[in-house]
Amino acid sequence: MILRLASVSLAVLALGVISTNLSAQEVSTGVGDVTVGGRLHVQYATSSVEDAVEDVSIRRARVRVDIRVNELLDARIQPDFAGGGAALQDAYVRLSLDPGFRVSLGQFKRAFSAFELASSTDLPTIERDGRIEGVGGCPGVGGLCSFSRLTEKLAFDGRDTGVRLDGGLGGGFSYMATITSGEGINTSDVNDGKSFSGRLTYGTEDFTVGGSLAVHDYLTITGDETRETEYSDAVSLDVEVGTWREGFHLLAAFARGDNWEVGPDASFTTLQGLASVYLPLQSTRLAGLEPMLRVGWSDAEGRAEDGGGVLFTPGVTLYVSGKNGLAANVDVFSPSGDGDTEWSFKLMTLFFF
């Protein structure tokens, strides 16, 4: 294990040094300006679970292509080649009719929680859901019970296909609304229902507060093979203090809604806070150090005595240049029931171009 860890660390630092001379490349075409960038995240993970697999994997291998035709029209295409295949992440065309009214058509993130809307290029946590190899059983959604696990697997968060409206309202207020199929990425709709999400935020230079409401449609099939469309809803509230990689930063959120994967009467409640401090380094080879701490609590069935738990994640990121560097996290999960507390150590490259 120590030898593998050292090998991954050296490879990451070498990539970080190389990336100092790389950045997103912009070219002009007959159609408009095209900017090409991307990221490569290589992850090492091991856990305390006896039968868990110690693994090195390609977590993300994404190429982002931004096309700007003019002030009115632009587009983004972002495939991901991790996991031995290719899958579209972002793929949309956007009309910027006014600073207060932009319309996007395609695949993008739903308008819900700040933790999901934050890019993996900024988050100091290696895994949003704190996954631990070998730990499962969260009611309805599987895995361990965490903020992002619940909101993503219940389809209130994450990418989907449809229409997005967003813009600034003036006075520090902004909005985002999405109307989507409800089936997630690269998946055709299975019914005539649609999912709706709306988000309103107020922000200053270093403080933002936001609230969101989501309604998710899903298909049920009864015993006599009758297909029915049902709806579930959720709300979220969040606050952000500071900005990424500039001193102290805090992101905290609350979400509550229907756990429709368990049943019509089940609900979930989850809280999460993430604090970090970016410390610039006076070095020609290293840009900064960022220790962080995440604490979350979740209840997946509306019963505090079971069906949930506490997620605790200390970590640190060493930046070589810009966002490039090496991150280390320890995810510790303590279930609210009779299960054992388990942990996972993760190391991941942060390589951007």
* Separation between Cα atoms, residue 184 and residue 195, nearest integer Å: 11
Q: Are 353 and 15 in contact (CB under 8 A)?
A: no
Q: Alpha-carbon distance 207 to 239, whole Å?
A: 8
| Residue 310, pLDDT score | 97
CB within 8 A of 250, min separation 6: which ones?
239, 240, 241, 242, 273, 274, 275
Residue type, 90: D
Residues of the chain with pLDDT under 50: 2-3, 6, 12, 14-20
**Residues 102, 166: contact at Cβ < 8 Å?**
yes
Distances in whole angstroms, Cα of residue 37 to Cα of each of 4, 25, 27, 40, 79: 29, 7, 12, 11, 11
pLDDT value for 22: 55
Q: Class for domain 2-352, per CATH?
A: mainly beta
Residue range 58-80, pLDDT digits in tens? 999 999 999 999 999 999 999 99
Q: Cα separation of 242 and 224, whole Å?
A: 55
pLDDT of residue 177: 98
Dist CA 257 CA 213 (whole Å): 10
- pLDDT-above-70 percentage for the chain: 90
Residue 89 contacts residue 78 (beta carbons within 8 Å): yes
On the 0-12 / 13-18 / 19+ scale of CB atoms within 10 A, 287 is buried
The three-class DSSP label of residue 4 is: helix
Per-residue confidence (pLDDT) for residue 271, from 0 to 100 = 97
pLDDT at 2: 46
Phi, psi of 95 (to 5 degrees): -110, 115
Nearest to 13 by CA among 327, 344, 277: 327
Cα-Cα-Cα-Cα dihedral sign, residues 21, 15, 312, 199: positive
pLDDT in tens, 285-307: 899 999 999 999 999 987 656 78
3-class DSSP assignment, residue 105: strand
Stretch (H or E) spanning 268:
strand 267-277
pLDDT tens digits, 212-249? 999 999 988 876 777 889 999 999 999 999 999 999 99
Type and span of the H or E element at 193: none
Would you list the domain boundaries of the chain? Answer: 2-352
Q: Could you list the beta-strand ranges (E) of 81-124.
A: 87-98, 101-109
Q: 163, 149, 161, 168: which is closest to 188 by C-alpha?
A: 161
Q: If residue 225 lies in a helix (H) or strand (E), which one and from where to where?
A: none
